Amino acid sequence: MPDISFERHRLANGLRIVVAADRSAPIVAVNLWYDVGSKHEKPGKTGFAHLFEHMMFQGSEHVDKGEHFALVQAAGGTLNASTWLDRTNYFETMPSHELELALWLESDRMASLVPAMTQEKLDNQRDVVKNERRWSVDNQPYGTWDEKLQELLYPEGHGYHHSTIGSMEDLSAASLDDVKEFFATYYAPNNAVLTIAGDVDAAEALALAEKHFGPVPANPDLPPPPDLSLEPHLGREVREVVPDQVPLARVYLAHRAPVFGDDRFRAVEVAADLLAAGRASRLYDVLVRRARLAQDVAAFPFPIVGGASIFALWATARPGVEPAALESALVDEIDRLATEGPSDAELERVRNLHAAGAASSLERVSERADRISMYTCLFDEPERINDEVPGYAAVMARDVRDLLSTVARPDNRLVLTYVPAEAPTTPAPTETDR
């Protein structure tokens, strides 16, 4: 896969800009990352970063409510946003001749969202977020799993202890002044990265970015990053059983692991793929196909940059399979990989899968822009985009063994088991009921 070339600049107000020109198709991606996520939230004020993902589409000083969507879509573009523990991002993909429209829209809300904020908009979007939480977390089978992993792997007060979506209580308590203060603190050019990728002339793109973002003032009082220091291991095994409205038992295993950006995180990614990527993976082969204990399996790392990331796995039990038997088989396969290491053929398989997936993703200018923004925002190293495939391929069998021996051990293990809750019994009718 050829290297992606780019130019990087910094405006006087601190905004970092990366331009990655590619004239192969008349499309341009505009991608803006803010260095603010749920880890920046204060106790009692959780969910603000995600709430802002919604508030940012409610209009700014020169753009009416809903007009951001309307203008982009009328120009033939697409747009969206997302929130994570470490960041919030906003992005548009446009016909290349509409680049300036996307830049103007993003710069206008960076510069002038607060004057357009109203109590009505806050109340409306707070209700939207609450409904999103009900749909995706509270009323979804297994929906609380990642929230519980964070609560149990990170101590109270740590930036990763609470979920990105926040609690109902904190969302209800959020005031208009709270929201304005959050925006004024973090939504500043010196806390952001703008990437422009696709069919552009680099000099012209930079001039347009300077025109629209240059006048936006920096925040000279940007707070320091939160302290996310943490012991690398839990120090004990932690267990919790969750009776829930689920059709089948499911076992989650989770561990503190090296952070995203650490060279060892590559070994976490490789180990996860060896264990559960595709039907040729170890967990699928043993737990699903041969032993028929599980009907699905998954393994994945959380790409978190502070303190410790998460290496998590799950397996959903087949009907009639006891969770304890499933857990034992899951642990046995992890331990076997930690002891034996992968074969050359296994490594070749996951390297090919990873390389093909990366190449397919990076064909899209929107994904290219997003990854450049990510590496620039989190590490100030956009060139890391060109190390994704070589870095993964450099992981050897001994690296996987060493990683699992260090991370996937009993004193660094969280076992979270969801079991079907017993249906409440209906009392027999009394004579008066009859």
Q: Residue 434: what pLDDT?
A: 40
Q: Which of 153, 168, 220 is nearest to 51 (CA)?
A: 168
Please tell me the distance from the alpha carbon of residue 434 to that of residue 432, in angstroms, as a whole number: 5
57-76 pLDDT, tens digit per residue, is 999 999 999 899 999 999 99
Q: Which two structure tokens, joined as six digits, stand for 259?
A: 């952070």
State the pTM of this model.
Answer: 0.94
Residue keyed to tokens 């780019």? 6
Structure tokens at 252: 């989650």
Amino acid identity, residue 292? Answer: R
Closest among 26, 410, 421 to 255, alpha carbons compared: 410
Provide the residue count of the chain: 434
How is domain 238-420 classified at the CATH fold level? Cytochrome Bc1 Complex; Chain A, domain 1 (3.30.830)
Beta bridge partners of 420: 244
Strands of the sheet containing 88-95, edge to edge, are 7-10, 16-21, 192-198, 27-34, 88-95, 78-83
What CA–CA distance (Å, rounded) separates 193 from 377?
6
Chain centroid to CA 194: how far?
19
Give CATH 3.30.830.10 domain extents, the chain: 7-213, 238-420
Contact 39, 229 (CB under 8 A): no
Residues 6 or more apart whose CB falls under 8 angstroms from that of 81 comprise 53, 56, 57, 88, 89, 90, 91
Evaluate whether 286 touches 319 at the Cβ level (below 8 Å). Answer: no
Each residue's pLDDT, cut to its tens digit, for the chain (434 residues) gives 679 999 999 999 999 999 999 999 999 999 999 999 999 998 888 988 898 888 889 999 999 998 999 999 999 999 999 999 999 999 999 999 999 999 999 999 999 998 888 899 888 888 888 888 888 888 899 999 999 999 999 999 999 999 998 888 888 888 889 888 999 999 999 999 999 999 999 999 999 999 999 999 999 999 999 999 999 999 999 999 999 999 999 999 999 999 999 999 999 999 999 999 999 999 999 999 999 999 999 999 999 999 999 999 999 999 999 999 999 999 999 999 999 999 999 999 999 999 999 999 999 999 999 999 999 999 999 999 999 999 999 999 999 999 999 999 999 999 999 999 975 544 545 444 44
- pLDDT reported for residue 43: 85
Distance (Å, whole) CA 284 – CA 298? 9
Find out if CATH 3.30.830.10 is the number for domain 7-213: yes
pLDDT at res. 167: 84
Tokens of 417: 């088991």
Name the nearest CA neighbour of 299 among 280, 287, 313, 283. Answer: 313
Residues 311 and 153 sit within 8 Å (Cβ to Cβ):
no
Angle value at C-alpha 127, between 43 and 166, nearest 5 degrees: 25
CA–CA distance, 4 with 362 (Å, rounded to integer): 9
pLDDT number for residue 425: 46
Query: What is the rounded CA–CA span in Å between residue 309 and residue 268?
Result: 10
Chain-centroid distance of CA 381 in Å reads 19
The reported pLDDT for the residue numbered 431 is: 46
Strand (E) positions, 258-392? 294-302, 309-317
Q: Which residues pair with 296 in a beta bridge?
A: 316
Distance CA 418, CA 405 (A): 26
Q: How many CB atoms lie within 10 A of CB 2?
A: 7
Q: Return the structure tokens found at 396.
A: 């050897």
What's the CA gap between 10 and 20, in Å, rounded? 15
The CA distance from 137 to 339, in Å, is 37
Query: Using CA atoms in the order 389, 377, 26, 205, what is the torsion angle rounded to 10 degrees?
Result: -130
In angstroms, the CA 261 to CA 228 distance is 15
- CA distances 290 to 151, 294, 295, 387, Å, are 34, 10, 11, 37
Q: Residues 303, 160: contact at Cβ < 8 Å?
A: no
**What pLDDT, on a 0 to 100 scale, did the predictor assign at position 51?**
87
Distance CA 17, CA 8 (A): 6
How are strands ordered across the β-sheet holding 414-420?
A: 238-244, 414-420, 250-257, 309-317, 294-302
325 CB-near residues (< 8 Å, 6+ apart): 293
Token pair for residue 287?
A: 């737990």
Q: What does the pLDDT read at residue 432?
A: 44
Name the one residue in this structure whose structure tokens are 């710069």. Answer: 107
